[in-house]
Every structure is written in structure tokens, then in C-alpha cells.
Amino acid sequence: EKAVNLKKDLAEMQEWMTQAEEEYLEKDFEYKSPEELENAVEEMKRAKEDVLQKEVRVKILKDNIKMLAAKVPSSGQDLATELNVVLENYQLLCNRIRGKCHTLEEVWSCWIELLQYLDLETAWLNNLEERVQMTENLPDKLDAVNDALESLESVLRHPADNRTQIRELGQTLIDGGILDDIISEKLEAFNARYEELSHLAVNRQIALEQQLQTMRETDHMLQVLQENLVELDRQLTSYLTDRVDAFQMPQEAQ
């Protein structure tokens, strides 16, 4: 009777493993929204816990069959063979569910990381847009133009590492068919805004550099002119003091 019960327990265990495999491993999931992906992650965590909890039952079965085999070798031998199959299938099920759970957790982590990088780069784009707007309607002063140019250049020196991460993370998920529509839309919007603002900022940088160069050249010309006027004033004052007749002065002084 004990052998019959153990045989029944082994059959039930095998049936449970078959159902668990169908439910957790053979479903063809499509993760088209973050909610679907998150739900799948939570489901696989529960599946892993459920399967691992059966380890106690498997151990009890194993111990009971060993005890029976010690007492009744003929009955125990047949059950031991069935037990080995169940143990092998159970270990395989545990490994597959652990693997799928780990994969889904990695995918979810990849999605969260992508969102974080997008948030960082969006904040940088907002800052870049603000700096570009600050270069408009500047006072016609060299210091104001120079400060605006330096401020814009400091933002443009932003490293490209985050954008590389965004591209690689997004492509990894899209290649796996994970949230591909949502990610493609997000990346397209981000890249379009990045290209537009970067182009605008670089053009504005070039314009400010040219404006600054022109203002410096003008300042230099005014400085030279001022120095010449001072020298001419000194000479004229000297002529007047010495009561030199105008026709005796050099042509430029006349």
C-alpha cells in the first residue's frame, strides 16, 4: 500500500511539473507595454517561489522511497527509477524557471535604465534649449556676448556617453521584441529633438563667435582711433601754444 501511495505521489508530482511547464514556460508572451512586462516579471517571481517550495515535497518523496527500497527492494527499485526521472525533470524545471525569471528581471532592469538615461538627456536638452534662448536679444556689449557664448559652449561640451547607452539599450530591447513600438517612438522623438536643438545651438554658437570677433575688431579700431586722436590733440595743442601759423603745419594738422 505504501508503494502504491508513493507511486501516486510521484505521478502527481510529474503532473504538477507538466502543468507548471505549460503555464510558465510554453506561453508565447508579447510584451507591448510596460505593464505587461512588469506583470510578467512578477508572475515569474511567483512561479520561481512556487517551484522551489516543492523542493521539500520532492525531498520527502526521495526519503520515503529510499526507506521503502531498504525494506522492500523489489518495490523500491521500480519507484527509485521513477523517482530519478521526477528528480531530473524537477531540476530541469527549476533551472528553466530560474533562467526565465532572471532574463525577465534583466529585461525590466534594461527598460528602467533606458528611462533613466532618457530623463537625464531630456533634462540636458531642456537646459540646452534654455541657453540658446538666453542668447537672443543680447545687449550690444562685448562682455554680454562673451558670457552668453561661454555659457552655451559649456552646455555643448556634454559627453555623448548617455546617448550611446540610450541607443544600445533601446536596440537591445527592440531586437528582443520587447516594448518595440513604445521604445521606437520614444527614441524617434528624442533623436529628432536632439538633432534639432544641437543644430540650432551650433549655429547660434558660430553666430556668437562671429559677432564677438566683429565686436573685438571694432573695439580695436576704436582704440587705435582714440589713441590717434589723443596724439593729434597733443600736437595741435603744442602748435597753438607755440603760436605756429596754420600754413606752417603739416598737411594733416591743417
Go through 216-245 and write b for each residue having 16 or more CB atoms within 10 A of its CB, e for each that does not.
eeeeeeeeeeeeeeeeeeeeeeebeeeeee
244, pLDDT greater than 80? no
The CATH number given to whatever domain includes residue 91 is 1.20.58.60
Contact 208, 149 (CB under 8 A): yes
Domain that holds residue 72: 1-210
Q: Which pLDDT value is given to residue 189?
A: 96
Does some domain include residue 145? yes
The pTM of the full predicted model, rounded to 2 decimals, is 0.78
The dihedral through the CA atoms of 164, 166, 167, 170 has a sign that is positive
Does some domain include residue 164? yes
Does some domain include residue 147? yes
Q: What is the pLDDT of residues 96-115, one digit of tens each?
A: 999 999 999 999 999 999 99
Q: How many CA atoms lie within 13 A of 32 on its CB side?
A: 3
Does some domain include residue 87? yes
Does some domain include residue 247? no
Domain count, the chain: 1
28, pLDDT greater than 80? no
Does some domain include residue 5? yes
Contact 96, 27 (CB under 8 A): no
Q: Which pLDDT value is given to residue 152?
A: 95
The mean pLDDT of 172-186, rounded to a whole number, is 91
Does some domain include residue 243? no
Does some domain include residue 221? no
